[in-house]
Homo-oligomer: A and B are copies of this chain.
Amino acid sequence: MTTSTPGRDFILTLDCPDRPGIVHAVTEFLVAHDANIVQCQQFDDRQNGRFFMRMHLESLNSAYGKDALIQGFGRTAEAYSMNWRLVDAAERTRTLILVSKYEHCLNDLLFRRRLGTLDIDVPLVVSNHPDAAGMAAAHGVEFRHIPVTPDGKEEAEAELLRLVDDLRIDLVVLARYMQILSPELCKSLEGRAINIHHSFLPSFKGAGPYGQAHARGVKLIGATAHYVTPDLDEGPIIEQDVARVDHSMDPARLAAIGRDVESQVLARAVRWHCASRVLLNHGRTVVFG
């Protein structure tokens, strides 16, 4: 949690084929642009020969703002065929939250945003039910009720996508949104949509995981935050956690305990994503926590 100044602190993330000299080339660029390293994390995936890096840098020379740095880094990036991104560390992620009837994750996210421990702007909360309108209002956030009827689903998704574009949304969070998105929508949101699944994946995929967990008699229940992909519950996992349960607890109790885990896991995943700490690596994630 290093405080960031707009136009002065930047986050550079990149991944590229591993080979000698990468870090040297990047620091070369830093020196040439009067930039200093605040924090740097690296991961060398030797199995796939790919290198990942996240660098928090501060510009010591006002002449080099975001655009100058982006332009300046282009040559280096090309030389090493990097997949990269440079963002202002103080920029807040424009986040659209999707919710159904369970509001615990929504409440948690909106409260952290208010506390300032989650660097997100929330231009809109969307739900297929009207229930969450009150909570959105209490947090001073716009709310839109978009019902999803059996044969109105396509239309609903179209409206959703329209909102994502109109509001320049960076991230869509499915905070217990109990609707299955179409493969098309998943595709178009790939890499910028996070879902919380209320089980420790790959255990108990699909519906009613707490009921499944109770039936199987597990001694721990969990939650999993992952990027949304067309194949359900198979997206890259960002974060997971568990809580201990016992034989005396019925599915309702498991669900109550699970809500805490879901809220925490989702909040961590969103925080890391918004801080550019999550990089994709062949269906898995590199998390520079």
Q: Which A238-254 residues have a C-beta within 8 angstroms of B?
A: 238-242, 246-250, 252-253
Chain A facing B: main interface SS: mixed
Task: Tell yes or no: A191 within 8 A of B by CB.
Answer: no
Beyond A44-B39, A203-B200, A250-B47, is A241–B220 a contact (Cβ under 8 Å)?
A: yes
**A1 CB contact (under 8 Å) in B247, B253, B264:** B253
List chain B residues, Cβ under 8 A from A201.
203, 216, 218
Q: Which of B27, B41, B217, B219 meets A23, CB within 8 Å?
A: B27
CB < 8 Å neighbour of A111 from B42, B104, B117: B104
Shortest distance between the CB of A251 and any CB in chain B (Å): 10
B27 pairs with A217, CB closer than 8 A:
no
* Cβ B237 vs Cβ A283 within 8 A: no
Given that A138-B138, A217-B283, A220-B241 are known contacts, is A250 also in contact with B1, CB under 8 Å in the complex? yes
| Interface window among A30-38, A62-70, A174-182 | A30-38
Q: Determine how close the nearest CB of chain B comes to the CB of A115; give it in whole angstroms.
A: 7
Flag whether A40 is at the interface (Cβ < 8 A).
Answer: yes
- Chain A stretch 267-289: residues in CB contact (< 8 A) with chain B: 281, 283-287, 289
Bound state CA distance, A138 and B43, in angstroms?
A: 40
CA distance A201 to B218 in the complex (A): 8
Question: A130: shortest Cβ distance to chain B, in Å?
Answer: 17
* Residues on B with beta carbons closer than 8 Å to the beta carbon of A104: 111, 115
CA distance A23 to B256 in the complex (A): 31
Contact partners of A240 in chain B: CB under 8 A: 218-220
Enumerate A12-31 residues with CB–CB distance to B below 8 Å: 20-24, 27-28, 30-31
Other A-B pairs, 16, CB within 8 Å; known A40-B40, A117-B259 = A1-B250, A1-B256, A20-B34, A20-B36, A20-B37, A20-B60, A22-B37, A23-B40, A39-B42, A39-B44, A217-B285, A219-B237, A219-B240, A220-B222, A220-B241, A247-B281
